[in-house]
Amino acid sequence: MSGTADLLVEPERLAAELDRADPPVLLDVRWRLAGPPGRDDHSAGHLPGAVFVDLDTELCGPPGAAGRHPLPDPAALQAALRAAGVRSGHPVVVYDGGDGMSAARAWWTLRWAGHRAVRVLHGGFPAWTAAGLPVDATVPEPAPGDVTVTPGALPVLDAARAARLAAADSGVLLDVRAAPRYRGETEPVDPVAGHVPGAVNLPAPAYVSQGRFPAAEALRARFAEAGVDPDAPVGAYCGSGVTAAQAVLALHLAGRPDAALYVGSWSEWVADPDRPVATGDAAGR
């Protein structure tokens, strides 16, 4: 079972760690679905020494039939992480603009790539500045890292596995998009509205608020209400695997390190017109 201290770090604790002789590597992964790019935020001010890494182009592969944020090419990811100064076995802290979504996807990607020593700054950049901690606009020049990307360290669902989990008598596939998108009443991003048949809706605000998570006991209770059995498989999806990565982080905090991410998510599911689509409130099992 993963502990909170292995997954999240509070601003004051991180500030103390940055004063050490060999501090953690900081990755600024601020991102917005509709732009503008987070690099502009980084240029305006960032945690001292933080290197900007782009979610769209460096932590994910090109959009296409595999979804809007598919898995990255391992060699390309390794090059990006080494350029950012990530070293094998050395601690990394990722942060975003405060909603916790892109930081969670960065956390998940590094963990999937075999780098276990990675945490999320709890509350992101706003929590850092609210604590009165310093911000720097200097462009960092990190020494090249030596991290080796070894894919597959966290479980991944493809469309076929997601369908089987959603239809299973035991286990649950969580759809963490807003309820109107799940029901098929609206779809602001992808070309088809609805959900994977059998998936259970648990919108993100049920387990995270402004990038901050409740205690593990509360998380376990909320996931249990959605049908998550501690002894049965669980996976999560959203529009493109970003918000769902945050759900996987929440599941880790709740003691479910086996939780699987459907990386392609709804954007991959609807790329194949032969895949079934459900609408309405019921999971349809």
Residue among 90, 77, 84, 152 at smallest CA distance from 117: 90
Is 60 among the catalytic positions?
no
Q: 140-159: string of b/e by CB count within 10 Å (b at 16+)?
A: bebeebebebebeebbbbeb
* Helical packing angle, 101-112 and 243-253, nearest 10°: 70
Q: Taking the C-alpha atoms of 236, 8, 109 and 263 in order, what is their torsion angle to the nearest 10 degrees?
A: 10
Cα separations (Å) of 269 from 21, 65, 245? 47, 9, 17
Annotated active-site residue in 238, 244, 263, 271: 238
C-beta of residue 157 within 8 angstroms of C-beta of residue 237: yes
Taking the C-alpha atoms of residue 29 and residue 140, their distance in angstroms, rounded to an integer, is 15
* Torsion angles phi and psi, residue 178, rounded to 5: -60, 150
Q: Which residues partner with 231 through β-bridges?
A: none
In three-state secondary structure terms, 201 is strand
Active site amino acids: 238
